[in-house]
Amino acid sequence: MNTHVIGPLCKRQHRHEGTDFSLRYASTRQCVECHRIWLSTHRESREIARERARKNYYSGRDRKLAYMAEYRKTEAFKSSKKASGLKHRQEIYARTKAWKQSMRGRLLVAAANRRRVLLERNAIKIPYAIEELHAKFDAFDCACAYCGGPATTVDHFVPLVKGGIEALCNLVPACRSCNLSKSSKQAWEWYRSQPFYSQARWDLLTALNEKQSFLGSR
């Protein structure tokens, strides 16, 4: 399908190949050369307008910020829709923060963080249900498997960077402090050097992980 046609001479006398006709677009019948000139002019004027707006913004920025700071203190602003929107936003932030501190929120946030790690390191994954992860938290009374404090994160018993897999048998509840301290270290080497080391807790941890690994392999 032809996009250009030969048509009558335009007002600016743009002759096509020395003829008495102009090259025009087939769809709009607009002169191609006139349109090219208009585009170049429009681009220049748009850049000029942007530069003027940029200068106006920075020249009056301090004055506008001072004005808005004073306006926010007035009753007119407090009763405006913007003020109600800010209040609604603060309520959303408060609910989100409370949700992240709940058990379900901590689990889902931890799961999202684990997915990010998997994408970065392409670890092997064995699917598990969220209920199974809940049950593992219950086995430790929702306490950190290492120090016994409140569990707010999920730790890989064998770090992913050391060949660990993304499976229920390799996940243990942990507090944020222990999770960050352990990092990519091997669990046994790190755990026995900690002041809160407990042989009974270690036995529970290894026994539960071995059991879940056996069940998963079947």
Query: Does residue 192 or residue 216 have the better pLDDT?
Result: 192
Domains and CATH numbers, the chain: 4-55 (no CATH), 61-99 (no CATH), 103-217 (3.30.40)
SS3 call for 167? coil
pLDDT single digits (tens) 133-175 = 888 888 888 888 898 888 889 998 888 777 778 888 888 999 9
Give the pLDDT score at 200: 86
Confidence of residue 28 (pLDDT cuts 50, 70, 90): confident
Distance CA 218, CA 209 (A): 14
Confidence of residue 118 (pLDDT cuts 50, 70, 90): low
Burial string for 48-75 (b: 16+ CB within 10 Å, else e) reads eeeeeeeeeeeeeeeeeeeeeeeeeeee
Distance CA 87, CA 59 (A): 31
Asked if pLDDT for residue 217 goes beyond 50, the answer is no
Distance CA 153, CA 110 (A): 6
Give the pLDDT score at 31: 92
Mean pLDDT in residue range 191-216: 75
Give the pLDDT score at 216: 37
Do 73 and 67 touch, CB atoms closer than 8 A? no
Of the chain, the percentage scoring pLDDT greater than 90 comes to 3
pLDDT single digits (tens) 48-93 = 888 888 777 777 777 888 888 888 788 777 777 655 666 677 777 7
Distance CA 111, CA 117 (A): 10
Average pLDDT, the chain: 80
